[in-house]
Amino acid sequence: MEYIYASLLLHSAKKEINEDTLKNILTAAGISVDEVRLKAVVAALKEVNIDEVLKNTAAMPVAVAAQPQAAQAQPAAEEKKEEKKEEEKKGPSEEEIASGLASLFG
């Protein structure tokens, strides 16, 4: 993730994103640089229009992203209720426990 943040910083400063500049940013932040990852990120970002990605990301409303999560949470809550009911039914009844205790003392 640090590599992407450093790339965004370079992009914001209108600097070229290449191995040297990215490595300098990461080193200045105290991050040990993985040369393979560095090359992969630089190569991948050459094909990406960062301005376009940022524009599309910024335009996406947060409420729309939150709606599917809320819809997923509701069925999960219903499933938990059903599981609790099943767990309650699986255990022995109070009468069975009482008769078991009575047999110990009888």
The percentage of residues in the chain with a pLDDT greater than 70, rounded to a whole number, is 56
Q: Which residue has the higher pLDDT, 31 or 89?
A: 31
- Beta-carbon count within 10 A of 17 CB: 19
pLDDT for residue 9: 94
Burial of residue 21 (number of CB atoms within 10 Å: 0-12, 13-18, 19+): middle
Does 29 score more than 90 pLDDT? yes
Q: What is the CATH number of domain 2-59?
A: 1.10.10.1410
Does 56 score more than 70 pLDDT? yes
Where exactly are the structural domains of the chain? 2-59, 62-105
pLDDT for residue 92: 60
Q: pTM of whole model > 0.85?
A: no
Mean pLDDT to the nearest integer, 64-84:
59
Q: Which residue has the higher pLDDT, 31 or 55?
A: 31
